[in-house]
Structure 1
Amino acid sequence: MHRNNQDILSIIFKISDGLEYEVSIDNIVIMLEKQDHKIQKFFRKLKFRIPEYKKTYLDEYGSYVFLLIDGMKTVKEIGENLEAKYGDKAHPLYERLLLFLNHIHVNCHYIEKTNF
């Protein structure tokens, strides 16, 4: 069953519970994924340099969108903010935005839907 565009634009996302991230001085979001598998812990004890966290950096657009996700704004509102800030550089607006949101929702589990 396909939802119409209005339904898709009214989806609201929130940041997943327990997600760890930092925001740099220039507003770039850095996802922190704890590396605490027992094999990683074992090699750390042997003095191997295995970082505590794997860091994933979002680009400027992705960081801007991610920081707009607050559990209240709809996809449409996030798109409007993106267009207001970046203008034509954000186009095709909703095609790109929905692709990004779907990726960080389904593949990365950074966000979750609060409605639907």
Structure 2
Amino acid sequence: MKTKNQRNYLDFVPVKNPDIEYQTDESGIVTLFVEWTGFYHRIAQKFFHRPRVSDIRLDAYGSFVWLSIDNSSDVHQLSKTLYAEYPDMEKSLSRLIKFLEILHDNHMIYWKGESCS
């Protein structure tokens, strides 16, 4: 019988990647700065005029979540905080998990207990 490898995201603790720089403007919107390094990125920068540093501007929800990540709160606690700030948001938990997955896949956060490489 197969065992399911299901992840319980509610218990995961997101941790910001210390290599990602960000700034917050006066309205609370966060802009992340991602430096593209490595062989293939240098080729893209040289031949396709790709920027060395990309600035990623988050929306109000993403900015709120980014600023709420304190490296000790788990996803369940973050979802409660998000719901308290935005009670009318539809599917807030699934949106939060998807947003955190995107941040994780792009190495902007990692889960507590795993390396940030």
What TM-score do the two structures reach when normalised by structure 1? 0.77
**Which residue of structure 2 lines up, in the alignment, with residue 103 of structure 1?**
102
Question: What's the counterpart of residue 19 of structure 1?
Answer: 20
Say if 2:82 is the partner of 1:78.
no
Is residue 60 from structure 1 mapped to residue 60 from structure 2 by the alignment?
Answer: yes
Q: Which runs of 5+ in 1 are unaligned?
A: none
| Amino acid across the alignment from 1:75 | V
Q: Tell me if the contact between 1:11 and 1:115 (Cα under 8 Å) persists in the aligned partners.
A: no
Distance, in Å, in 2 between the alignment partners of 1:24 and 1:52 is: 22
Quote the residue 2:87 is aligned against.
87
Please, what is the CA RMSD of the aligned residues?
Answer: 2.4
The Cα of 1:96 is off from its aligned counterpart by 0.8
Once the 2 structures are TM-superposed, how far is the Cα of residue 64 of structure 1 from its aligned partner?
0.3
**Count of residue pairs brought into register by the alignment:** 105
1:93 Cα deviation after fit: 1.6
Q: Which has a greater percent of helix?
A: 1
Q: CA deviation at 1:35?
A: 5.8
Q: Deviations over 1:71-104 (max 9, x none)?
A: 1011001100100011022x21211110110011
TM-score (ref. length: structure 2)? 0.76
Residues 40-55 of structure 1 aligned to structure 2 (within 5 Å) = 40=45, 53-55=53-55
Q: Runs of 5+ in structure 2 lacking a partner? A: none
